[in-house]
Amino acid sequence: MSIPANNTKILEVKNLTNHYLGQKLLEDVNLSLVKGEILCLLGPSGSGKTTLLRLIAGLEQETSGEVMFNGRNILKVAPHKRNIGMMFQEYALFPHKSVSQNISFGLEMKKCSTNHQENVIKSMLELVGLTGFGDRKVDELSGGERQRVALARSLAPEPDLLLLDEPLGSLDRILRERLTIEIRSILKKIGVTAVFVTHDQAEAFSVADKVAILQDGRLQQIETPENVYRFPANRDVAEFLGFTNFIDGQITENGNFVCGVSGVKNLLLNAEKWCGDHTLLIRPEGACVCENGDVETVQPTVSGRVVLSRFQGSTYKVVVDAGGQECIFDLPLEPKPPGPGEHIDLVLQPSSILLLRSKKRLENI
């Protein structure tokens, strides 16, 4: 049943737009997926994630654009003829049926033989780690077990594409983290192409081969999880990802960054071609405490008064008043950072500083 991934585009969304009662739910969305890829649609509530998923599934009507699936435009194809599976947050299982009967639902709709259904059910139960659960009733299962049954039912008819709409949203954090890893492993094992909707950044980064950031109905960025985090496309994306350390200033003709924050030094050098007004982003994990005030003059630094220092397990969260602006950092346990009211000198890794250009593209400096 395993299908190796290749470079064949199975899904292409072209200039897809959807308006409802004069409101723009989606605007000119373009993306593509190759066979075996997992794409996570990530964004805040109301950003258009579920609308895009439902357009692909055929459950919503587009205003304009195309959805190419296996080389043909499927926007006029009935949902049940698209060979697309769906998995919902609410499970949508039949409580009066057994686990096996729930899994066989799609196979019955395809009029598969009883022998084929039995073989697929056995295979699916093994795949999702529920061997021996076939005769149990749905209401006898835990939330995580029900989610596995829902996944097995979605995969049983062997869809060309699986759409998952916030499938783990109703589970607690620990169970979500475990199932996130399991779902990716299962999808990769059988090679199914999938689109996974979530508003949870960690969940998206754990599951996805590619992450698409949607905000206000527009696709802001589509990259690997690592590139989305390291090089967010613009300030809106960076803020959605949780970044807060934005420093406004000006790049001078000699390439230096000058700003009104007195505790910020040497953040940018040799950037003559970007002369003008810009914003820098400092990632919170890119700093460490400089002991004994021994700071080299060429190093990028942030200095100031500690406003807050809070132990949070593997790091300390420290808020620094850098002389006109507060900056937030996640600092290593050693050396232990100073407490509130004390002075602190932080040395920054150059790779943690990004330049927000006027073209709204963040570049590593």
* CB-CB contact of 35 with 8 (8 Å): yes
What pLDDT shows up at residue 91? Answer: 63
CATH class of the domain defined by 246-364: mainly beta
DSSP, residue by residue, 212-266: EEEETTEEEEEE-HHHHHHS-SSHHHHHHTT---EEEEEE-TTS-EEES-TTEE-
User: What letter would DSSP give residue 305?
Assistant: E
For position 143, what pLDDT does the model report? 84
> Can you list the residues of the chain whose pLDDT is less than 70?
1-6, 89-91, 170, 269, 271-272, 292-297, 357-365
Q: Could you report the per-residue pLDDT of 99-135, keeping only the tens digit for each?
A: 999 999 989 888 899 999 999 999 999 999 999 999 9
Arch. (CATH architecture) of 9-233: 3-Layer(aba) Sandwich (3.40)
d(CA 151, CA 162): 10
Task: State the pLDDT at residue 336.
Answer: 92
The predicted pLDDT at position 306 comes to: 97
Predicted local confidence at residue 23, as pLDDT: 85
Where in the chain are the domains? 9-233, 246-364
42-81: pLDDT as tens digits: 999 889 999 999 999 999 888 899 999 999 999 999 998 9
The pLDDT value given to residue 363: 46
How many C-beta atoms lie closer than 10 Å to residue 264's C-beta? 26
Predicted confidence at residue 294, as pLDDT, reads 60
> What pLDDT was estimated at residue 169?
75
Q: Which of 23, 42, 27 is nearest to 223 (CA)?
A: 42
Distance, in Å, from the CA atom of 217 to the CA atom of 152, rounded to the nearest integer, reads: 31
Kindly list the distances between the CA atom of residue 359 and the CA atoms of 195, 217, 273, 274, in Å, as whole numbers in the listed order.
Answer: 29, 20, 13, 11
